[in-house]
Amino acid sequence: MNKNPYYSLEVEEAFIGSLLLDGELIKDCSLRPEHLYVPRLKTLFTYMLKLTEKGKPIDMVSVAEEAGNELFNLGGGSYLAAISGSVPTTANFHYYQDTVKAYFRKRRTVEIAHRIKQDAEEGDIETILRDGITELQQVEEHSVAYEQGEIKNNLIDLYHECEKDMGEIGGIPTGFATLDNLTGGFQESDFIVIGARPSVGKTAFALNLALKAAQEDIAIIFSLEMATKQLLKRAVAQVAEVSSVKLRNPYKLLEDHDWNELHRAMGALSQLNLHIFDQGGMDVTFIRSNVRKLRRKYAEKKRILVVIDYLQLIMGDPRLKGNRQAEISEISRTLKQMAKELNVVVIALSQLSRAVESRQDKRPMLSDLRESGQIEQDSDVIAFLYRDDYYNQRSKEKDRIEIIIAKQRNGPVGTVYLKFHKEFGRFQELAG
């Protein structure tokens, strides 16, 4: 019996033997040749996949024919017969397959760990850790992703979803009926970008969305610009409807009714499913790692909304240093991949270029997204915030903000109008 901790000869032979006995099992196979350790079994599996590509059956005769003169070096027909005969039942095929996968992941993990150890002696530790973590995540998420494009399981899931009552909207509610009507709520696996010029209200709006989501679902905020206490102070002001100016010096400025509302707000906030990260120098690896941990914690029982404030402050890949556009492009792609792979909603706030200021109509456009057209390509939804009173103090539209949906991959574009109480940082539907 093979006792090597990194592979099992018997299990790999049972896997190949099962395929020789029942070639139809190849349709349920999610392995690639590199997942196997034993060279001749890896080669035999490669021949089987070639037969499948050619539309030919898999059995001892067809594999021997495909191998040709190479069969002798693989052990000959007697070896094929031996490993087929050693399989007690093909009913255990999925067990053999899963065990081969587990051994492969163990080998890859050890290989990556050894390389990290060697590189750490001389290389840049930040780069080594980032790359190592990324590779380890890929082992967990992608190492067994040979799916052959099967759609049956997805169709079954889709059918079951159709049977569920999703309520008025299918996604995570925004808290604003007019916005929900336009978007259907925020859909899982979507990458959403919210852009505006500085001080228009991006952070306040995102906080409104996160607090609403955290009532029933999970909200995670990665705050690269503001400390957790500052963000919570804004949240308290919003929920309590207490002026943020008063909260700068609450002991002196809060009145009795303000204190009552403050206590109520803090009690309500303590019950929310809200997580805030404010570490300096965050990169996408840090963000992805923590989202994955929370996804694992809640499994699929809860939907997750991730807010990143804001995109341009995320640390880029040092290897791309000096090319900020390439850094932002890579960050954008990775955030979209994270949304899809972890089935979460990702909202990234984004600064806009100064080109907005030079136009007569200062409503943002897609071309105003700073530093990368890749953001436009990766995003499922792009929304811009615009306030007329931001540019014109005499505006007749005081405290009104426009939420401009400039792109929506699976829905219409349009504009939603909300009231913005700047003193509380609170948004609400316009009356009437």
The token pair that represents 217 in the structure block: 């679902």
Give me the amino acid identity at 361.
Answer: D
pTM for this predicted structure: 0.67
Other residues' Cβ atoms within 10 Å of the Cβ of residue 15: 28
> Given this model, what pLDDT does residue 372 score?
63
Tens digit of each residue's pLDDT (9 = 90 or more) over 173-204: 998 999 999 998 999 999 999 999 888 889 99
> Given this model, what pLDDT does residue 225 score?
87
The token pair that represents 15 in the structure block: 């896997």
d(CA 288, CA 342): 9
pLDDT(19) > 90: yes
Lowest mean pLDDT among 93-97, 291-295, 366-370: 366-370
pLDDT(142) > 60: no
The residues, ordered by sequence, that sit 6+ positions from 414 with a Cβ below 8 Å of its Cβ are: 182, 405
Q: Has 70 been annotated as catalytic?
A: no
> Given this model, what pLDDT does residue 152 score?
59
| Annotated active-site residue in 225, 341, 376, 402 | 225
Please give the average per-residue pLDDT across 305-327, as a whole number: 81
Higher-confidence residue: 381 or 424? Answer: 381
Phi/psi at 404 (5° precision): -95, 110
**Could you check whether the bond before residue 310 is cis, i.e. omega within 30 degrees of 0?**
yes
Closest residue by Cα to residue 291 from 331, 334, 339? 339
Phi/psi at 124 (5° precision): -75, 120
d(CA 290, CA 427): 29
Band of residue 143 on the pLDDT scale cut at 50, 70, 90: very low
- DSSP characters over 20-82: HH-GGGGGG----GGG--SHHHHHHHHHHHHHHHTT---SHHHHHHHHGGGGGGGTHHHHHHH
Sign of the dihedral defined by the CA atoms of residues 225, 229, 233, 235, in that order:
positive
Torsion of the alpha carbons at 264, 266, 269 and 275, rounded to the nearest 10: 180
Q: What does the chain come to in residues?
A: 432
The CB-side HSE value for 97 (13 A sphere, CA atoms) comes to 20
> Given this model, what pLDDT does residue 204 score?
92
d(CA 53, CA 45): 13
Structural domains present in the chain: 9-142 (1.10.860.10), 165-429 (3.40.50.300)
Judge residue 251's burial from the number of C-beta atoms within 10 Å of its C-beta, 0-12 exposed, 13-18 middle, 19 or more buried. exposed
Band of residue 328 on the pLDDT scale cut at 50, 70, 90: confident
**Helix or strand (DSSP H, E) at 254:** none
149: region left, alpha or beta (phi > 0 left; psi from -120 to 50 alpha): left
The token pair that represents 116 in the structure block: 């990290």
Sign of the dihedral defined by the CA atoms of residues 244, 245, 249, 250, in that order:
negative
Higher-confidence residue: 71 or 129? Answer: 71
Band of residue 62 on the pLDDT scale cut at 50, 70, 90: very high
pLDDT(398) > 90: no
Closest residue by Cα to residue 351 from 335, 375, 333? 375
Give the residue carrying structure tokens 């081969």.
Answer: 100
Torsion of the alpha carbons at 311, 314, 319 and 321, rounded to the nearest 10: 80
